[in-house]
Structure 1
Amino acid sequence: MKHILVAGALALALSGCASQQPEAPFTLTLAHINDTHSHFDPSDAALTLDGRQVYTRLGGFPRLLSYANTLREQAQLADQPLLFVHGGDAWQGTGYFKLNQGAMNADLLSRLGLDAMVPGQHEFDLDSARLAAFIEGVNFPVLAANLNARKDPALNAAGNLYPYVLYAFDGNDKERLESMEDADSDPVVAVIGLVPEDLSEQAANPGRLAFNHEVETAQRTVNALRAQGVKHIVALTHLGLERDQRLASRVNGIDLIVGGRSETLMGDFASLGLGKNPPYAQQVTNPDGRAKTCVVQAGHFAQAMGRVSVTFTPDGRVSRCEGGNTLLTDGVFYNDIRRGKQHRLSEAEQQRLNQAVAADARMAVVAEDAELRRHIDTQYRPALNAAYGEVIGHVPATLTHQGLPGQDGSASDLGPLVAASQLYWANTPEVRAVTGRRADIALVGASAIRTPLEPGALRQGNVTLELLPYSTPLSLVSLTGRQLAGLLLETINASLADNQAAGAFPYMAGLRYRFDETRKGAGFLRMIEVRQGRQWVKLDSNASYNVVINGYHASGNDGWNSLYQLQRVLTDRIDLARVKGRLTAFPVARLSQTRRGAIRVHYINQALRCRAGGVQCNTDAEAFMDYVRERRPLLTPLADSGITLNRL
């Protein structure tokens, strides 16, 4: 990692640069984005406009580039300084990242004309070698003052990773400086990068990196910059709004914090249906009680761009900070997320809504940059379409997922839907012809579901590559009511006792229960009922029920231990997979465990080998896709999850 900090005598020698700064007030404008998460194409979004809910498309990189170019042109005409920065978490989020990982991000981010970026926690999802390749592949500096890469060979050698960067301005003309030795009388702006100090606990692949204290690093860096004569300091962070505010209240000398991570669309967007969020350009008093730091952030998914203008007094303090976030729409409106011809509003309605947008500073109709659109469509979209396949349905609003329902009433939208899909599929004529059984109940372990679903078109690949990516066969096994109750108690208690085990939490279809926690991490089932036709009846302890479960949990993995114990000697379980396109049943004889604890499935006849040619094991994903196509093409949460969880 390169260190530009100049110490000791050199800093003192250069401190005279401060006297060379112009006495006239200096105004700096920053355009900023954060948490774009590979949303290179526009996102479908529901907005409230003209008193009604309508659907439009927001953002995407070609639209970001068009708007950034407009801001650049305005700054050039006014001969005003402008920087364009990214607050981190460019990675993950869409099929584009699944297919291209960091390479497409490096390509498209470089085409935006950024001046700096701070890495977010998701930039550490792959190994450090791939992150280093990304950093070396972009045409702007990547900043992280509190990242210590000395023990990481890949990132330590990255020549484009810095603690901060310096820009000198002569009106709109901008020059990047290696150090203050190169400065003359023009105003100089330092942009510092800060990542979370606890990133090693949150990042998927922190490698051998160390992360230093945010506040201490920030103050030490600011002090060194001030000693060199830098009057104007911007912190580009990926800490989240709350920690940005804390940073501003504990560090003297930061003029502006441009943040990311909490994905806060700062400003009042309630009348548009997007909530009343903290005000844009908040000013937080520094610990010295004199200076203030301005704090901004710009939402997520490349849907909006922030623009903030900061005016400084001659001695370098912030005298004014103002601006706002602007949602970037394509200006085309529908009354349904499916956006069919029949859903498009009339031309008169389109015109009226576009007039409303034009009168609202929170929105702008922006055309996509044609060249960047063409580049995405020719270089990247064909592979995405091939991998992700046809549209199977539409998601009007985000469908969430969490392992354990929260004490605040929050719960998974997707857990009950996945369970419902499995119960539906297991009872279709094709499946029943193979199994010879009717399924009564479906159970889903929370860990089987990997992502939420965002608004917009739902493609096959969103299910097979993201939502249910493990290519897991569905299993049908009979359990008595007593065994079912024991399994529920085992998995619920494990999830409550240790949040790390929340992946074991059971979601279900065809069954409902009430669980009362009686002491921390433990409780009892007050009620369990099974659906029979249109009625709910009490679970019969002695009755046998056919239960659909994915093969991983059906074998007792992820804390579903009782299922392993029940199948050690004998089981009537059937695993379901496709062989050369034909649905095939694989009867299971028993389960065993290796010396290392791995669970083995012993089949009666032919073994199910999911990696063999012509074998498709992802019947869990197939079930969900069929359910969406045939029963819920407009995918919304179920009215009742069947779960009543009374916590202490």
Structure 2
Amino acid sequence: MKFTKPLIVLSVGLALAGCNSSSSDNKTLLDTPFDLTIAHVNDTHSSFDPVKSSFKVAKTKVYNEFGGHPRLLTEVNNYKAEATENNDSILFLHGGDAWQGSAYFKLNEGKMNADILSQMGLDAMALGNHEFDLDNQKLNDFIDSINFPVLAANIDTSNDDDLKDQTNLKPYMVYAFDGNTKEVVTDLDNLPADKHIAAVFGLVLDDMPNIAPNTGDIIFKDMVQSAQATVDMLHAKGINKIIAVTHIGNAIDLDVASQVNGIDLIVGGHSHTLLGDFTNLGMANNGTYAEIVTNPDGKGLTCVVQAGEYAQAIGKTTVAFNGQGAITRCNGNNTLLSNDEFYDSPAREESNKFSEQETASVVSFIDGQENIAVVDEHEKLRQHIDTHYKPAVDAAYGEIISTAPSEIKHERRPGDNGFDKHGSDVAPIVAAGQYYWAATTEVSSIAGIEADFSLVGAGGVRTDIAAGDLREGNISLELLPFSNFMSIVPLEGSVIKELITSTVSATLPAGSHAGKFPYGGNLRYTFTEDNAGIDGTLTSIEVNEGSLDAPDWAPLQDDTTYNVAMNNYNATGNDGWTPLFEAQKTSSGRVDLAYVNGQLTAFAVERIEEDDNGKYKVIYKDQGIDCDDSSFSCSTDAQAVINYIKANHPTLEPISYETVTLERVEQ
């Protein structure tokens, strides 16, 4: 999709002019003002336990935990109780990507997600890209098992054997409200005359086959065209209060709002954007929560929200409509959900724990803030997780391979959330590990080629590395959970430069999905933004011709072929790494590496094809890799990092030199 700037952006809380008026003269709608509260989360990624984190009180760094589903449930129940007391109308929406991201998902493959999410009281969820991480049969089982609908208005499942008859995967839902009383409306030709009516429709990425590995035979349709067609249909039925729950990223949400007439509120996901100003906590200002965008007709207005990642925060916004269905107010905020145990060290040992007086001081500070709250975990849900699921997860983590003296942080894009221009400290460790493994004599002798460096997409790296003991499972179950296998791809230097330029440029717009942002192992580069939020230039890129401990940097040459180690997902050109597909669509010298019956085995790639749905398919010269076959062990991307850390870093700290430098335009 081509990005366009929103026509007009208004401040939150102002009275809004213009209207999203219905084209219908249907008089069944209640012709009085209406307020609707939306509680929302997105990109929860199986974070059933809290996430270790930190924030600042003045200049003091406080180590704590945020979120987890039991704490999230407590807070949304608080919102619902308040709505009941005040007779307010409320919906609880999920912006997609409930799947993947933790050991719980790795072990339970969506079954636990269905169990826990069905206890959360959700009204609807957008279909996320990571919901396609297994196969459509397992996705169908998940959708069958939950007690709320999954929404996507721009897909056609009629040709997909697994999902074609799935009735809980819907384009939209319509709700009738009488104060705190809510009911689902199924007959759009006979809307209740004495209730307020609001519709919620879903929107997913239209290039999903290039993002997700297992989309089956689903057809994904243009987001803007489908959104407008859905809104027009709902308007024709007399419904003029319309919400989109999307999984397309904040930047694209804003773009869709500027191209589609009639969406009142977009509840988003995918870019993991914790909208709002969190500088009071020593964090970043991540942009406007409840940003208002003018529609292409110059009259209608759309409010846009999103609530971060990993169930650490919940958003709450109230949308006020006039009698004609136009929004007159849209405001609210995201709230980080903290525990009440605080430490002065990431090790979180008893000796580092805050005293009662220090704790009381922190709690007092939190009580004075709008964007953070101390929230207790929902006791029954916590016990359910600990009893039914946690023992198996704890047993799966395996042996200790290293110790991290302090927390090692991961942020996808340099400069975000208080990070410096070099970005993640975790991704360079992953990249170094995958290069180290691919360059060993054992691997290179089997592959027939030796790696010169590696590349890692930031979105494939899922977590920080916590202070303390690091176990194998922290890598294979949490940090790199996707069961990808390693590839070594011969590529000309010019292709590598094109890849880095295009992927970095794609992450520059505010609110963009930064999963494609590249980090190197045995490689370093500097990218300079030329036009703020639009594009830039790769001003330096160098390959290490020395050792990891004593680097000797030399410029990467356009006409030289380099053997590049990376996981198979990126090596195929997925997630916007399209230059790699282009370089391999007629022929490829690539070698994929997986274990077969415990033996590392090389699989030669002939080329990559693109099917009619835009999905890339690897064509092997002989036998291909079948990760569903029990004789195959495909997680060589994680095993590479485990081997590297175990062999070289009994104490794990960030790489001693910077591999990425992103110079942004001052704004």
TM-score by length of 1: 0.72
Identify which of 632, 637, 650 aligns with 1:630: 650
Q: Does residue 530 of the first structure (1) align with residue 541 of the second (2)?
A: no
Q: What SS class does the counterpart of residue 265 from structure 1 fall into?
A: coil
Identify which of 250, 265, 270 aligns with 1:261: 270
Could you tell me how far 1:636 is from its partner in structure 2? 2.9
Q: Is the 8 A contact 2:45 2:102 kept in 1?
A: yes
Could you tell me how far 1:420 is from its partner in structure 2? 6.5
Equivalent-residue separation in structure 2 for 1:13 and 1:169 (angstroms):
20
Identify which of 154, 164, 174 aligns with 2:172: 164
Identify which of 142, 146, 149 aligns with 2:157: 149
Q: What SS class does the counterpart of residue 446 from structure 1 fall into?
A: strand
Could you tell me how far 1:447 is from its partner in structure 2? 6.1
User: What's 2:145 paired with?
Assistant: 137
Equivalent-residue separation in structure 1 for 2:526 and 2:238 (angstroms):
66
Structure 1: gaps (5+ residues) = 1-10, 403-407, 433-440, 474-486, 516-520, 539-548, 566-574, 601-609
Instruction: Summarize the Cα distance change of 1:232–1:85 in structure 2 as closer, same or farther, 3 Å threshold.
Output: same
User: What's 1:17 paired with?
Assistant: 28
User: What's 2:58 paired with?
Assistant: 50
Q: Does residue 83 of the first structure (1) align with residue 99 of the second (2)?
A: no
Equivalent-residue separation in structure 1 for 2:221 and 2:197 (angstroms):
26
Could you tell me how far 1:630 is from its partner in structure 2? 2.1
TM-score by length of 2: 0.70
User: What's 1:306 paired with?
Assistant: 315
Q: Is the 8 A contact 1:121 1:202 kept in 2?
A: yes
User: What's 1:274 paired with?
Assistant: 283
Identify which of 407, 412, 419 aligns with 1:396: 407
Equivalent-residue separation in structure 2 for 1:101 and 1:385 (angstroms):
17
Instruction: Summarize the Cα distance change of 1:526–1:33 in structure 2 as closer, same or farther, 3 Å threshold.
Output: closer
User: What's 1:460 paired with?
Assistant: 472
Could you tell me how far 1:274 is from its partner in structure 2? 2.6
Which letter does structure 1 place at the counterpart of 2:273? T
Show CA shifts across 1:407-432 (max 9, x none): x9757745653576699999xxxx99
Q: Does residue 64 of the first structure (1) align with residue 72 of the second (2)?
A: yes
Instruction: Summarize the Cα distance change of 1:534–1:149 in structure 2 as closer, same or farther, 3 Å threshold.
Output: closer
Identify which of 205, 219, 222 aligns with 1:210: 219
Q: What SS class does the counterpart of residue 254 from structure 2 fall into?
A: helix
Equivalent-residue separation in structure 2 for 1:454 and 1:413 (angstroms):
11
Equivalent-residue separation in structure 1 for 2:346 and 2:100 (angstroms):
24
User: What's 1:113 paired with?
Assistant: 121
User: What's 1:544 paired with?
Assistant: none
Show CA shifts across 1:291-346 (max 9, x none): 31111111111010000011111111111111100000002211222211122222
Q: What SS class does the counterpart of residue 253 from structure 1 fall into?
A: coil
Q: Is the 8 A contact 2:23 2:235 kept in 1?
A: no
Instruction: Summarize the Cα distance change of 1:488–1:411 in structure 2 as closer, same or farther, 3 Å threshold.
Output: farther
Could you tell me how far 1:638 is from its partner in structure 2? 2.6
Instruction: Summarize the Cα distance change of 1:152–1:66 in structure 2 as closer, same or farther, 3 Å threshold.
Output: same
Identify which of 223, 243, 259 aligns with 2:232: 223
Q: Is the 8 A contact 2:428 2:521 kept in 1?
A: yes
Q: Is the 8 A contact 1:401 1:414 kept in 2?
A: no
Show CA shifts across 1:348-367 (max 9, x none): 21111111001001011000
User: What's 1:197 paired with?
Assistant: 206
Q: Is the 8 A contact 1:398 1:452 kept in 2?
A: no
Equivalent-residue separation in structure 2 for 1:468 and 1:211 (angstroms):
26
Could you tell me how far 1:204 is from its partner in structure 2? 1.5
Equivalent-residue separation in structure 1 for 2:129 and 2:186 (angstroms):
27
Instruction: Summarize the Cα distance change of 1:447–1:257 in structure 2 as closer, same or farther, 3 Å threshold.
Output: closer
Which letter does structure 2 place at the counterpart of 1:95? A
Q: Is the 8 A contact 1:28 1:81 kept in 2?
A: yes
Q: Is the 8 A contact 2:294 2:300 kept in 1?
A: yes
User: What's 1:476 paired with?
Assistant: none
Equivalent-residue separation in structure 1 for 2:337 and 2:526 (angstroms):
45
User: What's 2:497 paired with?
Assistant: 496
Equivalent-residue separation in structure 1 for 2:259 and 2:46 (angstroms):
33
User: What's 1:285 paired with?
Assistant: 294
Show CA shifts across 1:75-101 (max 9, x none): 000011010000111111111111112
Which letter does structure 2 place at the counterpart of 1:363? I
> Which protein, 1 or 2, shows the higher relative CO under an 8 Å CA cutoff with sep ≥ 6?
2
Instruction: Summarize the Cα distance change of 1:400–1:488 in structure 2 as closer, same or farther, 3 Å threshold.
Output: farther
Could you tell me how far 1:236 is from its partner in structure 2? 1.0
Which letter does structure 2 place at the counterpart of 1:495? I
Equivalent-residue separation in structure 2 for 1:506 and 1:190 (angstroms):
42
Structure 2: gaps (5+ residues) = 1-21, 414-419, 442-449, 504-515, 528-536, 555-563, 573-579, 607-618, 625-629
Bigger mean CA deviation after superposition, 454-463 or 341-350: 454-463
Instruction: Summarize the Cα distance change of 1:343–1:116 in structure 2 as closer, same or farther, 3 Å threshold.
Output: same
Which letter does structure 2 place at the counterpart of 1:91? W
Q: Is the 8 A contact 1:489 1:525 kept in 2?
A: no
Equivalent-residue separation in structure 2 for 1:468 and 1:128 (angstroms):
19
Which letter does structure 1 place at the counterpart of 2:461? P
Q: What SS class does the counterpart of residue 630 from structure 1 fall into?
A: coil
Could you tell me how far 1:393 is from its partner in structure 2? 3.5
Rg larger in 1 or in 2?
A: 1
Instruction: Summarize the Cα distance change of 1:612–1:451 in structure 2 as closer, same or farther, 3 Å threshold.
Output: closer
Q: Is the 8 A contact 2:42 2:309 kept in 1?
A: yes
Q: Does residue 386 of the first structure (1) align with residue 395 of the second (2)?
A: yes
Could you tell me how far 1:190 is from its partner in structure 2? 0.8
Which letter does structure 2 place at the counterpart of 1:275? A
Could you tell me how far 1:158 is from its partner in structure 2? 0.4
User: What's 2:385 paired with?
Assistant: 376
User: What's 1:435 paired with?
Assistant: none
Show CA shifts across 1:467-504 (max 9, x none): 4987999xxxxxxxxxxxxx99967555335569999x
Q: Is the 8 A contact 1:550 1:620 kept in 2?
A: no
Q: Is the 8 A contact 2:127 2:151 kept in 1?
A: yes
Identify which of 168, 178, 184 aligns with 2:193: 184
Q: Does residue 35 of the first structure (1) align with residue 57 of the second (2)?
A: no
Q: What SS class does the counterpart of residue 163 from structure 2 fall into?
A: helix
Q: Is the 8 A contact 1:415 1:446 kept in 2?
A: no
Q: What SS class does the counterpart of residue 337 from structure 2 fall into?
A: strand
Q: What SS class does the counterpart of residue 104 from structure 1 fall into?
A: helix
Equivalent-residue separation in structure 2 for 1:265 and 1:552 (angstroms):
28
Q: Is the 8 A contact 1:164 1:190 kept in 2?
A: yes
Which letter does structure 2 place at the counterpart of 1:639? Y
Indicate the RMSD between aligned Cα atoms, in angstroms: 4.9
Equivalent-residue separation in structure 2 for 1:235 and 1:471 (angstroms):
33
Could you tell me how far 1:261 is from its partner in structure 2? 1.1
Could you tell me how far 1:114 is from its partner in structure 2? 0.2
Instruction: Summarize the Cα distance change of 1:22–1:618 in structure 2 as closer, same or farther, 3 Å threshold.
Output: closer
Equivalent-residue separation in structure 1 for 2:317 and 2:538 (angstroms):
51
Give the number of aligned pairs.
554
Paired-residue identity, %: 38
Identify which of 298, 305, 310 aligns with 1:296: 305
Equivalent-residue separation in structure 2 for 1:288 and 1:532 (angstroms):
57
Instruction: Summarize the Cα distance change of 1:417–1:334 in structure 2 as closer, same or farther, 3 Å threshold.
Output: same
Equivalent-residue separation in structure 1 for 2:538 and 2:23 (angstroms):
63
Map residues 245-644 of structure 1 onto 2, 5 A cutoff.
245-389=254-398, 392-394=402-404, 396-399=407-410, 413-414=425-426, 417=429, 445-446=454-455, 451-452=460-461, 454-457=463-466, 458-465=470-477, 467=480, 492=493, 495-496=496-497, 530=546, 597=621, 620-626=640-646, 630-632=650-652, 635-641=653-659
Q: What SS class does the counterpart of residue 153 from structure 2 fall into?
A: coil
Q: Which has the higher helix share?
A: 1
Q: What SS class does the counterpart of residue 331 from structure 2 fall into?
A: strand
Equivalent-residue separation in structure 1 for 2:436 and 2:409 (angstroms):
23
Equivalent-residue separation in structure 2 for 1:522 and 1:350 (angstroms):
47
Show CA shifts across 1:360-395 (max 9, x none): 010110000011111111111111111123564446
Equivalent-residue separation in structure 1 for 2:526 and 2:262 (angstroms):
55
Instruction: Summarize the Cα distance change of 1:50–1:412 in structure 2 as closer, same or farther, 3 Å threshold.
Output: closer
